[in-house]
């Protein structure tokens, strides 16, 4: 199948965007010796796919944060939140406990829908990196893999990678490649972390941390894609 034959999903079909992304990454590997114009088309479409996936991925964490009961500053005996779709301003202890349980369960179910896709990408990470023509392509693919695969605080930011000499950058990538099959994804790490407490305020703080991290990863992809565009435009 040629790249132009890959069907572009509807904007709300997240599974379709994952499938779209994996087909493009497959073409990226097989296109190692293809001309620049063809590779640029693949990378541009990968970037488009990530933009759509980011919206849905971020939504899971934002929904977790917004659905979690919250207390007034300095008053942890007074919680408010949603119960059965209705916003309640003075939740009982049992209502808070039940709300926390429901929000956690909903997150677990949401992330499970795409866990297989992340596992496939994790297993193919090394092949994707090796298919890159140069450090600019490799940087972009690495940032895409970081976004979907590596747990919080386990990826190098765009600037840290870019500022390092090429040899060090490659060595760091090899180290990450070799560990790619054992790494937990951001959502798996978050799921494990929220099992540590049932305190709504702590759980909301965990979600805020996750949202910041995911957004930072996404902007790393934007930076890497921009660099790659400039490099190709200079040819």
pLDDT, mean of residues 56-74: 88
Please, what's the largest Cα pairwise distance for the chain? 65
**pLDDT band at residue 17, thresholds of 50, 70 and 90?**
confident
pTM: 0.80
- Length of the chain (residues): 235
The label of the residue with tokens 């790249």 reads 3
Domain limits, the chain: 3-233
- Contact between residue 14 and residue 56 where contact means Cβ atoms under 8 Å apart: yes
DSSP for residue 133 = S
pLDDT score, position 211: 92
Helices (H), the chain: 14-30, 36-67, 93-112, 115-123, 125-130, 135-148, 158-162, 166-178, 186-194, 200-233
* Sign of the dihedral through C-alpha 186, 210, 159, 46: positive
What digits encode the pLDDT tens for the residues 33-54?
567 777 888 888 889 888 888 9
196-234 pLDDT, tens per residue?
999 999 999 999 999 988 898 899 899 989 988 887 776
DSSP class of 34:
S
Res 174: pLDDT: 45
pLDDT digits over 134-182, tens only? Answer: 778 888 888 887 787 765 554 455 445 555 544 344 435 544 544 454 5
Among candidate residues 120, 128, 178, 180, the one with its CA nearest the CA of residue 151 = 180
């Amino acid at each position: 199948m040629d790249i132009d034959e890959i069907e572009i999903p509807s904007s709300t079909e997240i599974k379709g965007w994952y499938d779209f992304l994996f087909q493009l990454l497959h073409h990226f590997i097989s296109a190692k010796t293809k001309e620049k114009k063809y590779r640029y088309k693949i990378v541009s479409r990968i970037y488009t796919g990530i933009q759509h996936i980011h919206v849905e991925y971020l939504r899971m964490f934002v929904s977790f944060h917004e659905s979690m009961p919250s207390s007034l500053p300095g008053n942890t005996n007074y919680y408010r939140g949603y119960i059965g779709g209705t916003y309640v301003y003075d939740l009982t202890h049992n209502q808070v406990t039940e709300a926390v349980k429901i929000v956690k369960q909903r997150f677990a179910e949401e992330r499970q829908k795409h866990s297989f896709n992340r596992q496939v990408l994790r297993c193919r990470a090394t092949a994707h990196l090796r298919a890159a023509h140069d450090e600019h392509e490799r940087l972009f693919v690495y940032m895409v893999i970081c976004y979907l695969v590596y747990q919080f605080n386990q990826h190098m930011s765009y600037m840290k990678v870019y500022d390092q000499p090429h040899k060090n950058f490659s060595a760091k990538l090899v180290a990450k490649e070799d560990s790619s099959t054992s790494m937990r994804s951001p959502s798996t790490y978050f799921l494990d972390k929220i099992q540590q407490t049932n305190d709504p305020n702590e759980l909301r703080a965990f979600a805020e941390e996750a949202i910041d991290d995911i957004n930072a990863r996404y902007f790393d992809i934007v930076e890497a894609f921009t660099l790659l565009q400039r490099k190709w435009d200079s040819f």
